[in-house]
Structure 1
Amino acid sequence: MDFFNPIALLLAAVSALVVGFVWYNPKVFGTIWMNEAGLTEESMKGANMAKIFVLAFIFAFLLAMTMMQMSIHQTGALSLIGGDASKALPSYTAFMADYGNNFRTYKHGALHGVLAGVFVALPILGTNALFERKSAKYTLINAGYWIVTLGVMGAIICGWK
């Protein structure tokens, strides 16, 4: 069984940009976020948007790879045999025949993504915001984005077989 689905990983990475486009839209949280971040329309002009979006996509792809490990439990079984299924004992093949698709749903992946957002992204962003003297509103807007984004990414990666 192959867990590496490059199309799902690419779509999950794109989903981070799509969610960000909606989340940080001025009609959603964009204006509040800019105020809390201390940014102005003028300071936002002149940025190298191509560089920003290319790097954001690369970072999102790295997160998608991580979400694959976090949301597809069968990757743990694969890691126990050293990552090469062709060298596995027959017990691995039997195990995967019995349990290879357990918990491979969109719902389960979304759960793991949301948990990653709450227990990984929120503490990291919250700690940074504390030392940067940013507001709770700033933290919640950014953490909320990552909680939703990782939930969407997890759903795509885990559910799409």
Structure 2
Amino acid sequence: MEINFIALLLAAIVTLVVGFIWYNPKVFGTIWMKENNLTQEELRTGNMLKIFGLTYVFSVMITMTLMSLTIHQSGAIGMVGGPPMIDSAKPSFQAFMTDYGMAYRTFKHGALHGFISGLFFAFPVIGINGLFERKSWKYIFIHAGYWLVTLTLMGGIICAFA
């Protein structure tokens, strides 16, 4: 199983594209700013190169994790010791990969696993942080919704193309 690193790098852009739409003042941006007591002027004072650059780096890290959650064949490769050991794997491994190497490698399947990751990982993390930070449920649901959509799209792209 070859890894398509270009697909992973492209999937990482999803966080920026969805964020541009999701946090736009015409969508949820105005509510989000109100819940954080921020103004447009305050948001403009940030170092955008640093914010967008680090966002992309963190997003690439997320794609690596989503790859193992959406592509089930990753587990089979791990069982033989990882990519360096594939050539020395037993013939049964090669037979398995011949039969099932591309099973469930669709956008739909990856989107399902991305959504599940958002619902059962991102949402609880955001919820816990929001509760301790005394944030409103609006704040929590805006961020959780963003990650549900983002991880769903990223999971689909990674599973279908990576």
Partner of 2:25, secondary structure, is: coil
Map of 2:132 onto structure 1: 131
**In the alignment, which residue of structure 1 is the partner of 2:10?**
11
Q: Note the 1:1-161 alignment, pairs <5 A.
A: 1-2=1-2, 4-83=3-82, 84-160=85-161
Which whole-Å deviations, capped at 9, do the CAs of 1:39-98 have from their partners, x for residues lacking one?
122321221000000000000110011110000000000001110211211100000000
The residue identity in structure 2 corresponding to 1:107 is K
2-side partners of 1:103 and 1:38: how far apart? 44
- For structure 2, the residue ranges without an aligned partner over 5 or more in a row are none
3-state SS of the aligned residue for 2:27?
A: coil
What whole-Å deviation, never above 9, does each CA across 1:18-48 have from its counterpart, x for those lacking one? 0110010110000001111221223212210
Deviations 1:126-159 (A, max 9, x none): 0000000000010000010001000000000001
Determine the C-alpha separation between the residues in 2 that align with 1:153 and 1:37: 27
Give a deviation string over 1:81-123, Cα, whole Å, max 9, x none: 1102112111000000000011000000000000000000000
* Further displaced range: 87-96 or 32-41: 32-41
Taking the aligned partners of 2:107 and 2:45, their CA distance within structure 1 comes to 39
Q: Which moved more, 1:52-61 or 1:38-47?
A: 38-47
Greater mean alpha carbon deviation, residues 83-92 or residues 122-131: 83-92
Deviation at 1:7, TM superposition (A): 0.9
The count of aligned residue pairs is: 160
- How far apart, in 1, do the equivalents of 2:38 and 2:87 lie? 54
TM-score by length of 2: 0.96
Structure 1 portions without partners, runs of 5+: none
